[in-house]
Chain A
């Protein structure tokens, strides 16, 4: 009985895994290009930035909130850092940019955290507002332009390879950047925070029942505030990493990513009302979105169809998981009743 419930709960991850696997087989079957070393490496490196964004979005959703400001936050932070380091003719390594990213992430994240945590304003509207402010600040005050050159340290970090994979057939090589380790690091830290700190348990508790969390003695306002700060730091670092990986700072091309990232997290089983979701599911959902966005071309789907497929994936995927929840609820009621009758 208990095992059965557990199974139902795990289903979302399992489902996504099956879909990912089926999709990969389809791509492999049609093109022979999926299970090649360079394709795997390409997908992994395509996961770095969306993966980090997804972790931030996931944490916020877990607390029952939502953050749509992370692309603007990341863009602003990444642009400001790249520009000021260029102006200062900085030639050191990646550490300074990352430290700066953390500091800026704390500052910008605390703006969200203040409004959502301490003033209890609705997270969607607050982050829409701050998103607009961040963007305006970047484009207006900082007069952002595309920067074709980035500081050498960042460039070096972006290009240095953790592993290189070659496709024996096509001779194409792909590089897994060291930046991938940052994603891994973020995942490890987040896992640790969620599982082994009271702050992390507080996020789950607040997402499950906010007033109960308060009654139990959680400092709800502070936890929320810190949560948005943490999410801000992750987004900010992701922004800098993206600039490193792309070898240029394009101020606006991250904007608009928020919704697909959130959709990926929700596909992975994270509840929009908070309290439920796992890091694994979050990564799998993101992987699915990344796959659809990057690999459809391998099975001969023209690029112009990309959005159609992403849209269908979101609609069908969320419909399926919503349906699952509905059915699981029904079954649970039935099971307990059956037990009583018997």
Chain B
């Protein structure tokens, strides 16, 4: 445990170092444009949408699975919610505030159903999670397209976006939602037996079965958590864009996997810390916003930088891990 927690700390440490370096660099080069309250408020309103999806991918990856359906689920949730609001308030009408928590419950319901379906298919048929969630992602995106005819929906009451886009004591509501989910998830992962159990499942599903863990039940639960995270991410996208469409945020699938791996979660399962993933999420946003402050640099370089950072981190892991392995071997 000491060795592994040291390793995990190393992940977090590395991310912190990159973040600090970047912060210093931005302070030297673009202080006045980067270090503004509004800039930070914008960033903290934006990252929760993919941050939530990354949290979902994280729990699945801890069990050595993966969830490629997050974006599909998010968009479908956003579309369904938009349609629901439209029927509540009429085309340009308004909607009473009490509907907003109900909308969130509705989103959680959709996320639960989506996740349960993923989990059910993975556990009953033994299909690799990557395929199930890929197919389910397509399916959900497809349903979204059918519901909208492929177009964006924006004619629904503005009250929802207004509330979620507002700030509470200067803190964006989007971030508050993200923080709440992250805290709940952190408690679940570190303090409950569920957290311990999914780590064990990620290490060895077979041994988990032979130890009497309810593997299928736990996996379904995991994909439900991921589904809920994705659905909430969709709700934030709905607020941020003030519209819903089946193909928003299509690059978030890869981005969330990137974030999770950057955050120190092992793709082989059994290892991962929520703090790393949250740091990686913020880092990705801060990097992107920072680069945008340099108009001469194409924002397209961001994807190159992410990829390079991901590969670099993996190579670092490779070397440090191999040392540890050599020490262990007799």
Contacts and interface: CB of A to CB of B under 8 A. Distances in A.
A322 B300 contact: no
Contacts of B298: 139-140, 143
B308 interface: yes
Contacts of A115: 311, 314-315
A319 B303 CA distance: 34
A153 to B, nearest CB: 29
B68 A259 contact: yes
A256 interface: yes
A216 interface: no
Contacts of B27: none
B134 A259 contact: yes
Given A140-B301, A304-B145, 8 more contacts: A121-B315, A124-B130, A129-B307, A129-B311, A132-B254, A135-B304, A308-B139, A311-B136
Nearest to A303: B150
Contact of B314 (A126, A131, A326): A126
B98 interface: no
A307 interface: yes
B213 to A, nearest CB: 21
A181 B139 CA distance: 34
Interface in B304-325: 304-308, 310-311, 314-315, 318
A122 interface: yes
Contacts of A315: 121, 132, 135-136, 139
Interface of A: 115, 119-122, 124-126, 128-137, 139-141, 143, 256, 259-260, 262-263, 266, 272, 304-315, 318-319, 322-323, 325-326
Nearest to A260: B138
A130 B314 contact: no
B267 A309 contact: no
Given A140-B303, A308-B146, A318 B314 contact: no
Nearest to A273: B128
Interface string B116-154: 000001000111101110111111111101100110000
B314 A121 contact: yes
24 contacts: A119-B318, A125-B310, A125-B314, A128-B257, A130-B311, A131-B254, A132-B303, A133-B304, A134-B307, A135-B304, A136-B305, A137-B304, A140-B300, A140-B304, A306-B145, A307-B138, A310-B142, A311-B136, A312-B139, A314-B135, A322-B127, A325-B126, A326-B125, A326-B126
A305 B142 contact: yes
B118 to A, nearest CB: 10
B250 interface: yes
B66 to A, nearest CB: 8
Contacts, number: 150
A121 B268 CA distance: 11
Contacts of A266: 131
Closest 5 pairs between A and B when the two form their complex, measured CB to CB: A136-B304, A311-B139, A132-B307, A307-B142, A314-B135
Given A139-B298, A308-B146, A133 B125 contact: no
A133 B308 contact: yes
B258 interface: yes
Given A122-B267, A304-B149, A318 B307 contact: no
Interface in B146-169: 146, 149-150
Nearest to A124: B267
Contacts of A136: 300-307
Contacts of A122: 267-268, 314
Interface centre among A130, A263, A310, A318 (most CB of B within 10 A): A318
A132 B315 contact: no
B172 to A, nearest CB: 27
B305 A318 contact: no
Chain B, interface SS category = helix
A139 B300 contact: yes
B141 A132 contact: no
Contacts of A322: 125-127
Contacts of B82: none
Contacts of A305: 142, 145-146
Contact of A318 (B131, B300, B301, B306): B131
Given A141-B304, A314-B134, A307 B267 contact: no
B135 to A, nearest CB: 3
Contacts of B137: 311
Contacts of B139: 307-308, 311-312, 315
B280 interface: no
B206 to A, nearest CB: 14
Contacts of B315: 115, 119, 121
Contacts of A131: 254, 307
A263 B140 contact: no
Q: Which of B131, B139, B143, B150 has the most CB of A within 10 A?
A: B131
Nearest to A115: B311
B261 interface: yes
Interface in B31-82: 68
Contacts of B302: 136, 140
Contact of A128 (B146, B149, B254, B300): B254
